[in-house]
Structure 1
């Protein structure tokens, strides 16, 4: 099975995440996309970051009608801070018949050479890169930009951020159409981000 791994805090998951996952799945001919919910970094304090289980629950709610998308809490039980290379290694051992690819926005590719053991990721996993608004790949190191493991895919340029959504909630502005209806209901019921 070909699986794309879409890492993020998903605080909250929004319609942009869903559009990107669905589009990348099609263009990269993946069987599934797993949303890997990243735990809170213990070295960073963030009052707006919801607990891991709540962010996972919102991902589950947002994708419950699409069997090709899956929520993953794999990093919740891993040592922190979690590094992508360690998560990939763990998943490869646990699912030896799966082929994993990393789904990255083009903005992250510019800093990819700073990631822990980035060459190991390039050598053993595919990297699927979707465009992000206002990002140029000129800053990307040539060895990364032209690496055969990296595949650029078409995707809409979506400029929705979780920060914008949280600010809407704080300012009592509707988040309808920015998040899945079930996610909006969950946030409202729990009175999150107020």
Structure 2
């Protein structure tokens, strides 16, 4: 039973790589049906169950969500960057425990696509998580939606298809991605084959922080191919190269 003074907050958690019309439709539907008083879009630095290969830098994805919400102008929709400073990997249980400490007056619900049902057993400390929060499933790619969301529709847009379209130079469907977000993607050179040097530099730094020095080195080199005068990329490249070479040097076979 809900206690007096509690805030009902729905968390739409994801990579938002990039944020698109499907994400925003889910959030609006929840508010329109009064299933929550606010919806927070929680940007994840790295989903432990997804490959980081095509993941844009966290700060870019965060900014794209900010731009999308500014374009909508709905005060009950908020961007949440709480996972930026939490330990890696970004397990949902850690985020919920942290948010409950920060907002003891809040009751949190997790919004998730019905297609993740098969993945739930792989979630870290799932049984504890289910005791802390309620799940609200919206229809997406199969699976059974929650009764409150069963009539929702139009959420079949996916970030993977959007990235492929952008990389091939194709045109996105109307309302697939907010205009402000599309402009930001073009400005930053995200997702395209001709992505800007800063994109590869920031992604390389992300790999570096994860100790994935091979991928980091590839991205720093790519940044320097696009912008030879990129001083920060050169410094990180040299530092990463030294670590990478040291780790792969056979001390017993000079």
1:2 to 8, 16, 38: 8
1:120-157 CA-partner distances (Å, limit 9, x unpaired): 22222121111113x134xxxxxxx9xxxx76523214
Aligned-partner SS, 1:96:
coil
Contact 2:45 2:83 in 1 (8 A): yes
Aligned-partner SS, 2:109:
strand
Determine the C-alpha separation between the residues in 1 that align with 2:169 and 2:82: 34
1:7-65 CA-partner distances (Å, limit 9, x unpaired): 11001000011001111233352111111101035897534211100000000000111
Contact 1:4 1:25 in 2 (8 A): no
TM-score if structure 2 supplies the norm length? 0.66
Aligned to 2:189: 191
Q: Quick check: 1:174 aligned with 2:165?
A: no
Q: CA RMSD in A?
A: 2.1
Determine the C-alpha separation between the residues in 1 that align with 2:136 and 2:148: 6
1:107 to 97, 103, 115: 115
2:155 to 130, 142, 158: 158
Contact 1:27 1:153 in 2 (8 A): no
Answer 1 or 2: which has greater helix percent: 2
Instruction: Work out the number of aligned pairs and report it.
Output: 182
Long gaps (5+) in structure 1: 138-144
Runs of 4+ aligned residues of structure 1 deviating over 6 Å after TM superposition are: none
Answer 1 or 2: which has greater strand percent: 1
Aligned to 2:131: 123
Long gaps (5+) in structure 2: 1-6, 193-254
Q: Quick check: 1:136 aligned with 2:143?
A: yes
1:81-134 CA-partner distances (Å, limit 9, x unpaired): 11111100100000111111111111112322331221222222121111113x
**1:128 to 1:117, Cα distance in 2 relative to 1, 3 A:** same
Aligned to 1:94: 102
Q: Quick check: 1:55 aligned with 2:61?
A: yes
**1:44 to 1:101, Cα distance in 2 relative to 1, 3 A:** closer
**1:44 to 1:151, Cα distance in 2 relative to 1, 3 A:** closer
Kindly name which structure, 1 or 2, has the bigger radius of gyration based on alpha carbons. Answer: 2
